[in-house]
Structure 1
Amino acid sequence: MKYKGPVARHYPTAPWTDDDSGSAVTNGLMPALRPIWDVHLRDTMICLGGDGNYYMTGTTGDNWSAFNDGIELYASSDLKTWRYLGLVWSIERDGTWEKNWTMRDGVPFRTIWASEIHFISDNYYICHCVSGVGMGVLKSTSGKPEGPYVHVIQDGPINKGGIDATLFQDDDGRVYFTYGGAVQIREVKHDFSGFAGDWQPVEYDMPAHAPDPDRPASAAKGVLGFEGATLFKAGGRYYLGCCEFIGGRYSFMFATSDNLLGPYRGRHEGPPGGGGGNVFRDKNGRWWQTYFCNDKQMPFREKPGLAAIDFDANGHIVLSKDQPFVGKAWKA
């Protein structure tokens, strides 16, 4: 892990060098975003809860690529001031299949990645994954965001090896599960006791695209991206997003459709460097995209950030002219 901060770390860390160069800012691609809180958190995910508060989670822990304790949660009433709600789900205390240590890149590995909290049908659900093992969904037994949480849908991991699970509730109340590169979607039973049907393939109608030179192994035909699936609806359209490197930036690539399963068209890069997280609407109707800044072009790294977004005439996601969480003025 790389590290940049005021407190010395007691395990080996890689040199920081220019890992927060801010070149995307100086090149005019994005505003000089600042973190919304000074905490080490990747895959930032924020949702509006039923009580009017916002809840944030993600991948936490200073050595997240090897181990962490579980799922941590933060709360805010205004997206500006956050408070720590604690470790709401512990691998040791609450885990089942997640407790097993595995090997990854030659070192022991046991860590929860890409946690997502969702408020669905008056309750809170958390998706999570363990790389190389699979994904899970948790349900609050108290109806409160801090839990306690238990496994639902199934006891063991969903789709062995899958990562970046996410949930989506459609306008009719039906709930769907997808993950990774969003190549398939599956409906969840209304009580989360299992899946309501088989996996359904997602259809894409888009030209082949060349992989980024910094990621030559990237998928290059008929897909959005390779990980970090997110799904939401705006203006009557379904939006699917997946992470991909483009111009060295780790960004969400988005596409839209009139139907849940596609075909999805209009592949475009969302706010530059805004890959891994989600898009949500606040209680005043304004749209936001989360950031955690995963590449060297960003103004900070691996901390939670927020960018205000709009939708252009083509339905593409673009940065708003007004950006509350910036270090200096921004002209879109």
Structure 2
Amino acid sequence: MKRIFLLFVMGCVCRVWAYCQETAYTAPLAEMAWAKQFSGVSGPGVAVEGDGRGGWRSGADGVLYYGNRPRPEYKEGTLRMCTGSAVESGLVPPIKPAWELHLRDGVVTLGGDGNYYLTGSSGDNIWAWAKGIELWKSADLHKWEYVGLVWDIDKEADDWVKAWRKHPRRAVRAVWAPEIHYIKGNYFICFSMCPDGIGILKSSTGKPEGPYVNAFTIDRPIVKGIDATLFEDEDGKVYFTYGRADEIALLKEDMSGLAEPFRKIVIEDPDHNPAHHAKKCVGRGMNDLGHEGAVLFKRDGKYYLGAADNYEGRYSTCLGISDNIYGPYRKRHESIPCGGGTGFFKDKDGNWWCSYFGNDSQSHFREKIGFIRTDFTEEGLAYPAKEQPFVQPKDRKEWERTWNKVWKNN
């Protein structure tokens, strides 16, 4: 028994040492200066100009921008960034973005006060740096108010979060895909740091604006991954998944840690069409839902687990359906075309929505936030509803015509 215990201790020490070695990175001053030429916040945004087309494409080499508000640090983009071909083919409704705001991975939750709250990957360039996590709120999904920076990394974060990292070719300190969730009468935010490392925050006041503190009792990442999400079931149990949604764990009742080891997820009837997967998924056999952007929710007694993938060139969330939280999952399908990496939520009236930010050239806008009302087939497959409140009146007749052609028989 002593030998087993010593081996266990040595294993723990080795893992801690390995983690310290991985994070022992000193960012070059020139690379930090390059990153900080971009704003670390997205701010309140402005009213939509015109039809809202255009937008941003942020990356390790800088930010491409096509629209009416260029800045010196942006490179000039073109219409090829956002051709709108998915709209023209009837796959995507011609919605306008909610407002002119540079935001990726936007996720919405309905709070305890009746307001909708939104977080996402903010700042000018999420492959550069961010000040922390920003929050917006709305009573109706139409008019949004900027709550502000609710978690400042320099002032409030643990040391592992503050550290600069190397990805992919330069130093970064950026927050990826934060999500706010109203759980157990309080607000929690899960987040990841580029290129990996996940944490969960909780409001210390019970208010959506925080302040936020570490929900877990550890001063290190929960897992080495990205794109975390939380889900509270009807019995009050809370589950955690991340990345490509290939494993799920139950959290402790007080949300302070994992209550059990992760359980691997099995897809009962995997989609082996390489056109429905990114190259990395094809390379590992196409037996998963996607490669990033985990999603988990429940509708009509069925669990929906999903991840974003490259589906016929579109960055879309592919969902699977199960009777059990741990699966097996089946009926993998592209849900809202071009809507991947975001989330699904139910509004006050019981309607389902997918938040949308456009992350491929088939979309008509990029890295802005929009909302697509979602319907489900008799089998439970998700698809764009015919009634779309964010489609302009002048475009509604054409959208309904293409919807009848493309989606009516779903």
Output the TM-score relative to the length of structure 2.
0.78
SS at match of 1:218: helix
Q: Confirm or deny: 8 A CA contact 2:271 2:332 kept in the other structure.
A: no
For residue 223 of structure 2, the aligned residue among 133, 154, 159 is: 159
Matches of 1:156 and 1:225 in 2, distance apart?
Answer: 27
Equivalent residue for 2:296? 231
Aligned to 2:368: 303
Q: Which runs of 5+ in 2 are unaligned?
A: 1-62, 404-410
Q: 2:334 is aligned with what amino acid?
A: E
| Aligned match of 2:209 | 146
For residues 67 and 221 of structure 2, what CA distance do their matches in structure 1 show? 35
Cα separation, partners in 2 of 1:195 and 1:81, compared to 1, 3 Å: same
Q: Distance in 1 between the 2:222 and 2:107 partners?
A: 21
- Whether contact under 8 Å (1:34, 1:299) holds in the other structure is no
Q: Does 1:128 align with 2:191?
A: yes
Matches within 5 A, 1:1-332: 1-13=63-75, 15-96=77-158, 97-153=160-216, 154-160=218-224, 162-212=225-275, 215-219=278-282, 220-327=285-392, 328-329=395-396, 330-331=399-400, 332=403
Higher relative contact order (CA 8 A, sep 6+): 1
| Mapped contact 1:54–1:79 kept (Cα < 8 A) | yes
Q: Counterpart amino acid of 2:119?
A: T
Shift of 1:213: 8.3
Identity percentage of aligned residues = 47
Deviations 1:259-305 (A, max 9, x none): 00001001111011110111010111111011000000111110001
- In the aligned structure 2, how far is the partner of 1:98 from the partner of 1:177? 20
Q: Is the 8 A contact 1:290 1:307 kept in 2?
A: yes
Secondary structure in 1 matching 2:161 = helix
Shift of 1:215: 3.7
Quick one: which amino acid aligns to residue 159 of structure 1? V
> For residues 91 and 109 of structure 2, what CA distance do their matches in structure 1 show?
26
Partners of 1:80 and 1:212 in 2: CA distance: 36
Secondary structure class of the residue paired with 1:19: helix
The code of the aligned residue for 1:156 comes to R
Structure 1 unaligned spans of 5+: none
The code of the aligned residue for 2:185 comes to: D
Aligned length: 331
> How much has 1:214 moved relative to structure 2?
8.6
* Distance in 2 (alpha carbons) for counterparts of 1:33 and 1:58: 19
Mean Cα deviation higher: 8-17 or 230-239: 8-17
Q: Offset of 1:211 from its aligned partner?
A: 2.6
Question: Which whole-Å deviations, capped at 9, do the CAs of 1:127-172 have from their partners, x for residues lacking one?
Answer: 1001233000000001000100001123211112x00000011111
**Structure-2 separation of matches of 1:29 and 1:119:** 32
Work out whether residues 278 and 291 of structure 2, in 8 Å CA contact, stay in contact via their aligned partners in 1: no
Question: Is contact 1:211–1:217 with CA below 8 Å preserved after alignment?
Answer: no
Distance in 1 between residues matched to 2:210 and 2:189, nearest whole Å: 10
- The one-letter amino acid of 1:289's match is C
Relative to its length, the structure with more strand (as a share) is 1
Contact 2:276 2:309 in 1 (8 A): no
Tell which structure's C-alpha radius of gyration is larger: 2
